Amino acid sequence: MTRGFAGIDPLWTIVARVNCLRKVPTHRDRRRGARRSRHLLNVLPRKSTVIVCAGAIAVATLSGPIAGVSSASVPAARSMVSAIAPADTKADVAAAKQQLSASSDAVQAAEDAADAAAAKLPDANSALTRAEAAVVDAVAAQAPAEKARAAALVVQSAAEKAHTDAVESVKAAQAAVIRQQDQVKRAQDRIDAVKSQIAVLARQSYISGSESVELSILMESQDPAQFADQLQALARVSRGNSTVFKQMTALRAELAAQLVELNTMKQAAASREDVAQSKADEAIARAADAQEKADAIRALAGKAQAARDSAATARSNIVSLVEQRKQEVARALTLRRAIKKTYEKLQAKLTAAQGVAKTHGTRRDAKAALAWGMKYVGSGASYNGLCLAFVDDAYNPSGGRVGTAIAQWYRAKAAGYGHPGDRNPPVGAQVFWWSGNAARHIALYAGGGMVLTTGAYGGKVGLVTMKHLDGYGPYLGWAEAYYG
């Protein structure tokens, strides 16, 4: 057996009853019966079972899945309908009614699922559009950010080169400072040497005094020539002392100038180093900021792309679900149409046995009106919300029409054709409910507890149970079609 959508094996039973033979069949009858049996076997669907019992032939057919409807939307398969042949026409109609009701539930469930999936599709499309726009914006922002980052890296490279040059300049200045320090040291050493000489002279002068030295030199002379020589030596000594003092003065001046130059070099070197370090720090900070912005934009672009992919996946899943639901609805409608044909045949038997509702002021009788309305089952969306117009058009009244369903009920009731609260109307009768709509609701009774109504299955015309319409408001009753 073909398995249904949710693992259910729905069982649909259509019964054809053949009157039992009351006489012993002749040879000719046996041939005719054999031909009929072969004909039944040929026309029945696959997986059909023919049961022959006491001269009666009952045909139980097992047909396709219930249009992919979940187990929550329809009863269990084996309890839907009985596989035993009904005993009479009313039982046939009751069995068909059960089949049609279950099939209608299947259609409604599938259409509800399709509507729910379709309702999510616009949001998925909107999310996809937003995600794609975010991707475009992120990609558009990424290019300037990358450009800014590249420019910052160029600035950083130039700053690092400037910093390197400045460091080399600082090194050169420091080397010059060291050389200058060496010169200062040498000058200081020379000054210290001169200071030693001066100290010796000062000590000699202090011990003997300068005049006694000169007088002793003059007094120790033995002759004028020696005196002259000593006098010249004394002059040379005096000149030497003067030279030492002059050297001391010159060295001190040179040392002072070198110290000033050394201090200037140190300050210049320190200033160069500070400027170079500041530029390098600024360039590094700018490059880091640009890198951070570029990374942030790249991460944003990645998130936007991920969101776009997720939205696209969700949209694809919903589109697939909608298509699946549409196929389920199509299968359910096909099954419902097949069952409806069987129902119409059995309904004709019931109508022939019970008769139909009477009409007043119509061009079609109840049977013709019902046949006209049955053509719209599965379609007729143009009548959605226009229940009275549909029923009026079915009867094609020659008398006047009223504006609302409740007015039609009151008119028929006032004329003596209304039957309040009676839940056993004849076929083709007009049935009324006190629905939430201000105009209330009218439909056509199709027999077997089924009602032909607008607004069923996505706003189309459909066959539903009276119990189904009870969910929209209290049942008022039925009336013969009365148009004055």
At 394-407, the pLDDT tens digits run 999 998 999 999 99
Residues 179, 41, single domain; the answer is no
Question: What average pLDDT does this structure show over 318-326?
Answer: 84
- Identify the CATH number of the domain in which residue 308 sits: 1.10.287
Question: What average pLDDT does this structure show over 204-217?
Answer: 58
Domain total for the chain? 3
End-to-end CA distance of the chain: 55
Question: What average pLDDT does this structure show over 434-444?
Answer: 96
266 has a pLDDT exceeding 70: yes
Report the mean per-residue pLDDT for the chain.
Answer: 74
User: How far is Cα of residue 10 from the mean position of the Cα atoms in its chain?
Assistant: 37
- DSSP letter at 36 equals H
User: How far is Cα of residue 222 from the mean position of the Cα atoms in its chain?
Assistant: 129
Residue 28 domain flag: yes
Least confident of 2-11, 67-76, 148-157, 244-253: 2-11
**Per-residue pLDDT band at 146 (split at 50, 70, 90):** confident
Residues 138, 250, single domain; the answer is yes
Please check whether residue 439 is in contact with residue 405, taking contact to mean a CB–CB distance below 8 angstroms. yes
Q: How high is the pLDDT of residue 5?
A: 31
261 has a pLDDT exceeding 60: yes
Residue 325 domain flag: no
Domain end residue (candidates: 270, 293, 318): 318
Residues 246, 295, single domain; the answer is yes
- Identify the CATH number of the domain in which residue 401 sits: 3.90.1720.10
Residue 105 domain flag: no
Residue 334 domain flag: no
CA distances, 445 to each of 1, 423, 451 (Å): 35, 10, 5
Residue 204 domain flag: yes
Question: What average pLDDT does this structure show over 139-167?
Answer: 81
Residue 93 domain flag: no
Most confident by average pLDDT, 100-104, 250-254, 293-297: 293-297
Structure token pair of residue 455: 């607004």
- Determine the Cα angle at 58 with ends 32 and 449, to 5°: 130
Residues 266, 139, single domain; the answer is yes
3-state SS assignment for residue 4:
coil
More confident position, 203 or 310: 310
* Cα 296 from Cα 304, distance rounded (Å): 12
Domain end residue (candidates: 271, 294, 318): 318
Residues 303, 172, single domain; the answer is yes
For 331, other C-beta atoms within 10 Å of its C-beta total: 20
Host domain of residue 81: 1-85
Residues 247, 131, single domain; the answer is yes
More confident position, 58 or 35: 35
Q: How high is the pLDDT of residue 216?
A: 61
Question: What average pLDDT does this structure show over 58-81?
Answer: 35
| pTM for the model | 0.45
Residues 66, 15, single domain; the answer is yes
Q: How high is the pLDDT of residue 383?
A: 96
2 has a pLDDT exceeding 50: no
Domain end residue (candidates: 295, 318, 341): 318
**Per-residue pLDDT band at 354 (split at 50, 70, 90):** low
Most confident by average pLDDT, 28-32, 134-138, 214-218: 134-138
Residues 59, 134, single domain; the answer is no
Residue 260 domain flag: yes
Cβ-count burial of 188 within 10 angstroms (0-12 exposed, 13-18 middle, 19+ buried)?
A: middle
More confident position, 415 or 305: 415
What are phi and psi for residue 22, nearest 5 degrees? -100, 5
Q: What is the share, in percent, of the chain residues with pLDDT greater than 90?
A: 23
Least confident of 53-57, 90-94, 215-219, 375-379: 53-57
**Per-residue pLDDT band at 382 (split at 50, 70, 90):** very high
Residues 190, 262, single domain; the answer is yes
3-state SS assignment for residue 471:
coil
Residues 276, 174, single domain; the answer is yes
More confident position, 347 or 423: 423
Residues 390, 474, single domain; the answer is yes
Q: What is the share, in percent, of the chain residues with pLDDT greater than 70?
A: 69
3-state SS assignment for residue 479:
strand
Residues 135, 248, single domain; the answer is yes
